Chain A
Amino acid sequence: MIRSKLYLILFAVLLLFSNLIFASESLIIQGSSTVLPIVQKAAEVYMEKNPDVNISVRGGGSGTGIAALLDNVIDIANSSRFIKDEEVQSALSKGIYPVPHRIAIDGIAVVIHPDNPVDDLSMEEIKKIYTGEITNWKEVGGPDRQIVVISRDSSSGTFEVFEEIVLEGEKVTAGALLQTSNGGVINVVTSTKGAIGYVGLGYLSPALKAVKVNGVSPSKETIISGQFPIARPLFIFTNGWPEGITADFINFILSAEGQKIAEEQGYVPLF
Chain B
Amino acid sequence: MINWRAKEKIVQIILLLFAFSSIVFLTGIIIVLFKEGLPIFQKVGLIEFIFGKEWYPTYYPPEFGILPLLAGSLLVTVGAMLVAIPIGIFSAIFIAFILPERLKNVVKPVVELLGAIPSVIYGLFGMKILAPFLQDVFGLPIGLTALTAAIILGIMALPTIVSLAEDALSAVPSSYRDASLALGGTRWETISRVILPTATSGIITAIILGIGRVIGDTMTVLMVAGGAAVIPESFLVPVRPMTASIAAEMGETPVGSAHYHALFGIAIVLFLITLLFNIIADLAQESFKKKVTGR
Residues of chain A whose beta carbon lies under 8 Å from any beta carbon of chain B: 60-64, 66-67, 84, 86-87, 90, 145-146, 148, 153-157, 159-160, 163, 169, 171, 174-180, 187-188, 191-192, 194-195
Contacts and interface: CB of A to CB of B under 8 A. Distances in A.
A62 B252 CA distance: 6
Q: Is the interface of B mostly helix, strand, loop or mixed?
A: loop
B227 A155 contact: no
A192 B141 contact: yes
A174 B230 contact: yes
A195 B142 contact: yes
B144 A177 contact: yes
A67 B254 contact: yes
Given A155-B259, A174-B68, A61 B144 contact: no
B252 A61 contact: yes
B114 to A, nearest CB: 25
A174 B226 CA distance: 12
Given A62-B252, A63-B255, A178 B240 contact: yes
B56 interface: yes
A155 B141 contact: no
Query: For B59, B230, B247, B251, which residue has the most chain A Cβ atoms within 10 angstroms?
Result: B251
B101 interface: no
Query: For B143, B252, B253, B254, which residue has the most chain A Cβ atoms within 10 angstroms?
Result: B252
Contact of A154 (B58, B135, B144, B228): B58
Interface residues of B, number: 37
Contacts of A174: 54-55, 68, 228-230
B227 A179 contact: yes
A14 B122 CA distance: 44
B260 to A, nearest CB: 9
Nearest to B240: A178
B3 interface: no
A229 B145 CA distance: 33
B254 A60 contact: no
- Report, nearest first, the 5 A-B pairs whose CB atoms are least far apart: A155-B252, A61-B251, A61-B252, A178-B227, A153-B248
Given A63-B253, A179-B227, 14 more contacts: A62-B252, A63-B251, A64-B252, A86-B257, A87-B254, A90-B256, A154-B57, A154-B58, A154-B249, A155-B248, A169-B59, A171-B56, A177-B142, A191-B143
Given A148-B141, A195-B142, A175 B252 contact: no
B142 A155 contact: no
A235 to B, nearest CB: 14
B141 A175 contact: no
A169 B61 CA distance: 11
Contact of B58 (A60, A86, A87, A160): A160
Contact of B56 (A60, A87, A154, A187): A154
Query: For A163, A174, A175, A187, which residue has the most chain B Cβ atoms within 10 angstroms?
Result: A174
A63 B144 contact: no
A195 B250 CA distance: 26
B60 interface: yes
B127 interface: yes
Nearest to B57: A154
Contacts of B54: 174
A177 B226 contact: yes
